[in-house]
Structure 1
Amino acid sequence: MSETYSIGQFSKKTGTTIRTLHYYDELELLKPSIITESGRRYYSDENIVQLQKIISLKFLGYSLEDIKEFLHLTDWKLMDSLLFQKDEMLKKKAHIERVIRALDQAIDITESQGQVDSSIFLMIIQNIQMEEEFKDWLKRLLPSDRVEDIYNIPDEKQRELNRTMTTTCIQLKEAAGSKPEDPAVQELVGQLFMMTAELLGGEDVLFQEIIENEQISEEDLDNDPFSLASPFSKEEEEWLAKAMEIYLLNRGADEYDSE
């Protein structure tokens, strides 16, 4: 015959708080084997086995609602469920790794720059947060293996580029409103273009690759997700667009349009 335990004894034996046991009872996850007329609860060895199942499934990341459903199923397709849960955990792992990478880079920027404009700070975070969206967009412009190479750079190199990008963006925001053709502004715009090229693979020919890609539509270019992570205000964007136009004209970028 199975031994019975008061709720206090069961709590100590299993290392589960009385409050949690009451909660599991309310959810009908773990009902006491015996409830006396006076309301006293008694648990059995079978309840210990049931509790171990709950604890194991919680460890695997299942919600209490899912666990309740599993425990009441007579035909639980365990393998399908485990494969699904593994996939969910891998997604969470990837998300946590992106968050840690974003925090590391944000800390690095703060240490190197001190107080940073929030819009620039958020640009770095969004670049990591939206990495997959950026990749998908670039794959409409360039071969997939080329895009993977672009993103396959060492962390330290990525941090170095982020530091330089942050400095350039700060200087451009400070220069906003001055004459876009000013040599100092044009030098900053040139740095921005070179930086972007390096972030996207470290090759200046990248721009020519995109321009010469006949599969690119205007819609692809208009839906550039990088614009969502811009640290510039609308007015600063308009000013920067003029400065970039002047830079590209001086650089002879229109030569591609004439071909």
Structure 2
Amino acid sequence: MSTQYSIGEFAKKTGLTIRTLHYYDEIDLLKPSFTSSTGKRFYSNENIMQLQKIVSLKFLGYSLEKIHELIHLKDWDLKESLEFQKQEMLQKKEHLNRVIRTLDHALFMMDEQGTINANIFMTLIHNIHKEEEQKEWLSSYFPKDMVEEMFNIPEQKHMELNKKMAQVYSELKAAYGQDPGNPHIQSLLKQYFELSLELYPGTIELVKNLKDQDIEFEQNAQLFPSPLSSEEDEWLAHAMRFYWNEKGIDINDHS
């Protein structure tokens, strides 16, 4: 007769809690080998083997629901399942890498500034989070290699430029309502455009490509949100018109 363990003994032997064993029994994931008339659960060495399968699959990232499905299959294509799970884990790894990268940018911005306007902060973080989607959307207008080049800047430089851009946005917000032609406002806009070209090198070539092909470009506010309010955006638009007019450039012209 095989060895029988009480639920307490089995919990101690396997390192699981009694509560977890109760739950696994309830969801039909790991049933005890025997339940007495009084409801006491007993487990066998076979249950230990079953649990090893569950623990191994859980380590590989499978959900309890998926584990339940797999261990109850008569014919289980292990290789196909593992290949699928690997792809799932790679996607999660990519997501975690983006989260860590975003946190690095956030902490870097906070190091010197301490506090930052929530809208500015969330916009900059959004741009990092949605970078791949931004590339995909831009690729519908521009050659893919041009778009990739546009985002191809070293990470440290990217963080430094984001920090500077956050500062410019903060100063623009603080200056809201002032005369758009004010030298301070125009100086901020000069910094803004210079930083934009550093953040997105090749932008001028991309816009020229649009003009040459006579393509109408429509901004996607969902992918490229503004950290400014609608009133601030309207004020900034006046300031930008003044900025370009001073340079003798008609901003209504694609060039």
Letter in 2 for 1:93: K
- Give the fraction of aligned pairs with identical amino acids, expressed as a percent: 50
Counterparts in 2 of 1:96 and 1:150: CA distance versus 1, 3 Å: same
Shift of 1:39: 1.5
1:76-225 paired onto structure 2 within 5 Å: 76-201=76-201, 203=202, 205-206=204-205, 208-214=207-213, 216-218=215-217, 221-225=218-222
Shift of 1:192: 1.1
In structure 1, what is the Cα distance between the partners aligned to 2:77 and 2:106?
Answer: 44
How many residues align? The count is 255
Gaps of 5+ in 2: none
Letter in 2 for 1:222: Q
In structure 1, what is the Cα distance between the partners aligned to 2:207 and 2:247?
Answer: 13
What does residue 239 of structure 1 align with? 235
Counterparts in 2 of 1:89 and 1:162: CA distance versus 1, 3 Å: same
Query: Any idea what SS the aligned residue of 1:254 has?
Result: coil
For the Cα contact (< 8 Å) 2:207–2:254, is it kept in 1? Answer: no
For the Cα contact (< 8 Å) 1:180–1:186, is it kept in 2? Answer: yes
Query: Any idea what SS the aligned residue of 2:135 has?
Result: helix
Letter in 1 for 2:234: E
Provide Cα deviations, 1:49-68, integer angstroms capped at 9, x if missing partner. 11011111111111111111
Runs of 4+ deviating beyond 4 Å: none
- Structure having the larger proportion of residues in helix: 1
Over the aligned positions, Cα root-mean-square deviation in angstroms equals: 2.1
2:55 paired with 1:55: yes
Provide Cα deviations, 1:220-256, integer angstroms capped at 9, x if missing partner. x23254542x210110011111111222233344399
Counterparts in 2 of 1:213 and 1:130: CA distance versus 1, 3 Å: farther
2:253 paired with 1:257: yes
TM-score calculated relative to the size of structure 1: 0.90
Shift of 1:78: 2.1
